[in-house]
Structure 1
């Protein structure tokens, strides 16, 4: 700066360096009762720098400066959408550089105020920075500041849930980066170099890294903005690119990166994009293994005690394991939907058809993998690829393939449970057990041996039943309802399997006493848990609600329907017991019909069950009357 002598300029540079050190290093050691002490000191240094620049004629024409904490008018949405390239890319004039330097001080003051929870003052300084930049054309000397200030304003407005305003600032930052790279391409001056002596200027490589990191932040914030706007596909794309750039720039905290990658995998899974989901999870597992090392400044800033840090690492790795469980579970469930016929059994024709298409799918997988945005550097890519090979991303088409997916999922169940123990993590532990149960259910679909399939369902009962019975009904009501319903359905599946096995050997009338006893036991157990679920909906006085809430409407009516069906299927040794069961069955079928007649909106939730209930309400009285007639004749 021509108007400042070398000693004065060196003093400004020293103040700026001290302010940066106070902000980035000293502030981490500030006491709890004075958490912003270092940042307040940094603010005073920045104010002194600003006054020095102003007093030397650096900004006679600008309207910036300290204005206290008065809240300025909020910027219109379109203010950040202007074309900052309207005058083209060229070298800045001396006046433009002076404005950029003043703008940079305003920017750092704005960030300082935001960091100390003075948002209105922070916004004012950031907007003053924008005003200074209005005097400049985008050039290599100021493009970094153009992007940084819009990033910060995007964060500020997103925090106020003004998502569209945040979107405007961030999309402008993105367009500035893209157009600069297209028309200029050389790494620009970093803002810190405005206040650096010649011997402290950055290298070409460091300038590039810092500029790319600024744009990575833009993408990271845009991913969150698009997520909040419901643009999930766009959000996923930006999140994926952000993660890739963080690895390339070696600017990431391993566990934070890994959790973000694992979270992204869940989006891909819900879209049936298992190749991308597997890649994210494999990368998350490999990168999480780097935790404990210090690959970047971000990781070095962690300040937890060693024991807290170890506990957090265990927890986050367990959370990644849970994402793997969901991957395996969804892969099995989606394969089941693809292969099952109208009765819920394997469609063997469809199975053979898909097996014939498998080679083409494998070729497409390899092609897609090569064209995908892959994670990792040369050091980690092989590890990620090796982990991917241990679990398939194509739908399993037979028991052998399904078992491979199941075993991977079960392995991660074990890992997750090691951290999320029942003692201390009740809800998490039970959710993991429920996923384990669902893994068994998914595998059972592929098992053709009925006896072995039944044993898989018995494993589900054994892991869920003790917990369901031991849970406190007052504190864990919703979880108990889930477990009751699942146990009822599991016993029901086992009952159907036992009957199918028996019918392969003889008709129902010829069933031996052992088979009948086993069938009735499973039937009664299923009815018991459905009834327990229904009883949990009642008031403390035992009165059932006249109106079922939306979240329990379908489960409650389905439970009624299933109880009705189960009572009608019990094999009775005496006509009296059979008559009692048929009357209970009719009572429950009538409840479904009458409730749907009284609440017309309920019919849409249970169309199939309602139709069958109406049919049974018509048929069962005839069966009951015939049974009564036979009983009277025998007497």
Structure 2
């Protein structure tokens, strides 16, 4: 990141600066001090006093500040007229018609245009422009956007008389930042983009061609003894550019340019740390949110770094007040609520990190039927050493967060969870345990009482963590127990939820429970076949198998019933969001009914009839709605095949029953 050079001025340069500050007004020191005092009061009213304005008069202090700014503007115009300077584009406030903003690409950046920034006329124009800027911000803050736009554009017009220099570059950037915010708020994203990208180019060009700490706008109205130091100027200028980057991140996000948005967001967060200008919890939440972008792109090193930094920086906000302290003080109660909520949200981002790492690893290692491909696993393990060497190189090239006080803590936290995809059960379990720890943290705040939707989403993520870990488990009995844990955490809540208020969530849980029981059924049958070798299954195993099979069928049927009308009528047309789940549920029900084990021919016949009925539904629905075929190609192919085969099996069973009778 480019940093303004911090050169200590000589005594001569300091005196020259002071001389300019006094002479530029060409008025008595008392008159100029009055202007400076008014500006100081206006700033105090805007920044400090406005916080205490009553609810029934929320802009009282800002209206007072506006009047002071108008008086300053009149004084500046009076000074200018007294010197006999011809007015160039500086009409009285309120006399101008709104100026339309230039389109992207037509903005002048001010380099090499108009007067030199060191000339008296150029500086007077910049000072008038600064007043217009502050008036524009004042109007925007009081929700008078058109008037705010007019003043900001007046500032732009006045700056056309100036060449960009150390005395006015800050104003050049600030006014474009504000216009960018204004137009972004109107959903005119491309117009906002033009202003902000011009602000960015002005900053970058100034750093390259000059680089000295520039005058801050507030110094236009500051007496000699209150001028800022070089360090203070640098900090304010860099903060203005940080705001440019922050707003550009939002603009690029709205334009769908997610990669650029992430880059600007990351740089903004880094600069905020370097400048020590941030709220710990707000910064941490933004970093955690950024991690989710990196995670979706499989960039786990950057995602982990963002989350580790978020966790460490959030700790700078202090300890969560106790319940007793919260009950005694409303302020402590609000602080407790905010800290717990935001830290719980960061914990949820960690859960997503761990879950995505495990799921991506599963996709990498599974074969065509969803089982572990051991050959692929060994191949990846052999390549792991080279990957670990490249990890450190990647870290050095990444944009890292932290200061001397926090960097070591961030690195220490990162080391507790690897960013490389796990290749076996031990590595997967380490990631799982980190995720499970954050599940516990998140649930402490997002409890069922008060946060039903959030609590259930966390449980669903916990279930998904178990499912991903089970993929790596070679012991089928232990794998089955992991799925049982999923049932235990989801089933009670699913059965207790009120469908009237939580229908969609309940449908999700029904479908997931049906799939869990189906997976457990397959595992139990595989395990029983291995143990029994070629012998028939014992009664205990058959009973267990049928229980799991029936439980799966029950939840699939509950899901389908939830789609029916209050009168129990099956919908003729399935909505897009439930089309595939509904047809898959029908297909699975058909398979489950055909797999139930019974020694009674009549029960077998009943099960086969139900199976055929569900297979037929899939085929007939797709015939009536051809657009549905693409969503269930495999299921439709198998259903069509079974609709042809099952009647033969049913007829043979009927014939056998007749012969026995």
Q: TM tier, shorter chain?
A: over 0.9
SS of 1:9's equivalent in the other structure is: helix
Pairwise CA distance, 1:92: 2.6
Partner of 1:234: 260
- Partners of 2:650 and 2:68 in 1: how far apart? 92
Q: Deviations over 1:137-170 (max 9, x none)?
A: 1111100000000000000000000000000000
Seen in structure 2, the aligned counterparts of structure 1 residues 458 and 365 have a Cα distance that, compared at 3 Å, is same
The unaligned stretches of length 5 or more in structure 1 are 294-302
Q: Deviations over 1:537-584 (max 9, x none)?
A: 000000011110100000000000000010011111211101110110
8 Å contact 2:114–2:160 — kept in the other structure?
no
The unaligned stretches of length 5 or more in structure 2 are 1-23, 320-328
Question: Is 2:401 the counterpart of 1:375?
Answer: yes
Equivalent in 180, 193, 206 of residue 167 of structure 1: 193
Equivalent in 34, 37, 51 of residue 60 of structure 2: 37
Partner of 1:202: 228
Partner of 1:564: 590
Question: Is 2:460 the counterpart of 1:437?
Answer: no
8 Å contact 2:583–2:618 — kept in the other structure?
yes
- Partners of 1:245 and 1:195 in 2: how far apart? 28
Partner of 1:60: 87
Partner of 1:600: 626
Partner of 1:134: 160
Partner of 2:171: 145
Partner of 1:307: 333
- Partners of 1:304 and 1:207 in 2: how far apart? 39
SS of 2:558's equivalent in the other structure is: helix
Q: Deviations over 1:6-28 (max 9, x none)?
A: 00000000110111111111111
Q: Deviations over 1:417-468 (max 9, x none)?
A: 0000100000000000000000000110000000000000000000000000
8 Å contact 1:64–1:128 — kept in the other structure?
no
Q: Which moved more, 1:169-178 or 1:356-365?
A: 356-365
- Partners of 1:87 and 1:207 in 2: how far apart? 25
Equivalent in 571, 574, 585 of residue 600 of structure 2: 574
Seen in structure 2, the aligned counterparts of structure 1 residues 213 and 64 have a Cα distance that, compared at 3 Å, is farther
Q: Deviations over 1:172-226 (max 9, x none)?
A: 0000000000000111100000000111110010111000000000000000000
Partner of 1:296: none
Equivalent in 612, 632, 641 of residue 586 of structure 1: 612
| Superposition TM-score, scaled by structure 2 size | 0.93
Seen in structure 2, the aligned counterparts of structure 1 residues 33 and 79 have a Cα distance that, compared at 3 Å, is farther
SS of 1:396's equivalent in the other structure is: coil
Pairwise CA distance, 1:55: 1.3
SS of 1:289's equivalent in the other structure is: helix
Pairwise CA distance, 1:505: 2.3
- Partners of 1:626 and 1:383 in 2: how far apart? 72
Seen in structure 2, the aligned counterparts of structure 1 residues 469 and 552 have a Cα distance that, compared at 3 Å, is same
Partner of 1:78: 104
- Partners of 1:486 and 1:121 in 2: how far apart? 56
SS of 2:501's equivalent in the other structure is: coil
Pairwise CA distance, 1:120: 0.6
Partner of 1:347: 373
Partner of 1:420: 446
| Superposition TM-score, scaled by structure 1 size | 0.96
Pairwise CA distance, 1:71: 7.3
RMSD, aligned α-carbons: 1.6
Pairwise CA distance, 1:626: 1.0
8 Å contact 2:114–2:162 — kept in the other structure?
no
8 Å contact 1:80–1:172 — kept in the other structure?
no
8 Å contact 1:88–1:138 — kept in the other structure?
no
- Partners of 1:452 and 1:89 in 2: how far apart? 79
